[in-house]
Amino acid sequence: MEQTTPSAIPAVPLTLDGSYILHQMFRIRWPAWKALDAASQRSILAGAETVFAPMERNNQESSALFSLLGHKGDLLLLHFRRTLDQLNQAELSISRAELYDYLEPTGSYVSVVELGLYEASVKIYGELAARGLRPGTGDWNAAVELALAEQRQIAAPRLWPEIPQRRYLCFYPMNKYRGEEKNWYSQSIAERQRMMREHGLIGRHYAGRVTQIISGSIGFDDWEWGVDLFADDPLVFKKLVYEMRFDEASAVYGLFGAFYIALRFPSTRLGNLLEGKTPNFS
């Protein structure tokens, strides 16, 4: 049987994909809201709570509200859903609430939870090549799918996570550099594996202090990945992101979009936000 050469091993790493994610950023139309009488405001808030409360209670397909800091908006809504259809339904349900008339969209981001399998990909590809299988053939694809099925079972909690119950959120999109001299995608899969291993080791130093959810958005949105960091101490975001800037994967190949910092609160505290008060976490 003809042997598969290392150069013929696929360049694309395998991934596991889970929950679909939608970030929605809004600015409150303050003049219009403040022009309402108290009874109208109470009625609109009550209607909004009937929309948000059921979404918050479903841990596996949940939504969460955050108070945004800075000029990029006032309110961030985060939705995790099993399918893109359900994600669309969440967006449409919110748009039908009367409160939506007093919100101005300032941004959004669509992605899907992604676990990159660089280590496993290099191992799996090498084993299949050693068996004489060729990429793209039926036998190769079947063997890859069998390996992925095992990985999905192991990683199920990370593929279908709950939105972490932590006070602070840091969200940002990012790309890998594709310049003329430095191009992430022109590096071999083994070289990218090495860099991502070093990159991941930094994140492990922050285990317990921050929960990280990486989502893929290639083909879904304007950037390639979205990064959500959840913590009870916002300074951990600065320390983690800064430290990661020094590893090769980020220093040479990382490109970052806008950063969003926000405070989580339950829908029952939405009235506080609309009164100009920082809403409590409980």
82 occurs within a structural domain: yes
Report the distance separating Cα 78 and Cα 175, nearest Å: 21
Domain membership of residue 45 as a residue range = 17-113
45 occurs within a structural domain: yes
pLDDT digits 0-9 by tens, 52-95: 999 999 877 899 999 999 999 999 999 999 999 999 999 999 99
32 occurs within a structural domain: yes
Residue 85, domain CATH? 3.30.70.1030
pLDDT digits 0-9 by tens, 193-206: 999 999 988 888 89
The pLDDT of residue 172: 98
The candidate with the shortest Cα–Cα distance to 80, out of 163, 156, 155, 159, is: 163
The pLDDT of residue 269: 97
Report the distance separating Cα 112 and Cα 3, nearest Å: 36
State CA 217 to chain mean position distance. 9
26 occurs within a structural domain: yes
Residue 7 has pLDDT above 70, yes or no: no
If pLDDT is split at 50, 70 and 90, which confidence band does 1 have? Answer: very low
The two three-digit tokens of residue 277, written as one number: 């008060």
The yes-or-no answer on residue 172 being catalytic is: yes
232 occurs within a structural domain: no
Residue 4 has pLDDT above 80, yes or no: no
State CA 81 to chain mean position distance. 12
Task: Count how many domains the chain has.
Answer: 1
Encode burial over 71-110: b for 16+ CB neighbours within 10 A, e otherwise: ebbbbbbbbbbeeeeebeebbeebeebebbebbeebeebb
- Any residues with CB less than 8 A from the CB of 73 and at least 6 apart, and which? 25, 26, 27, 106, 107, 260
67 occurs within a structural domain: yes
Give the max Cα distance, the chain. 80
205 occurs within a structural domain: no
Would the CA dihedral through 11, 13, 14, 19 be positive or negative? negative
Which one of 172, 206, 253, 260 is the catalytic residue? 172
109 occurs within a structural domain: yes
Q: What is the pTM of this model?
A: 0.93
The candidate with the shortest Cα–Cα distance to 17, out of 113, 153, 109, is: 113
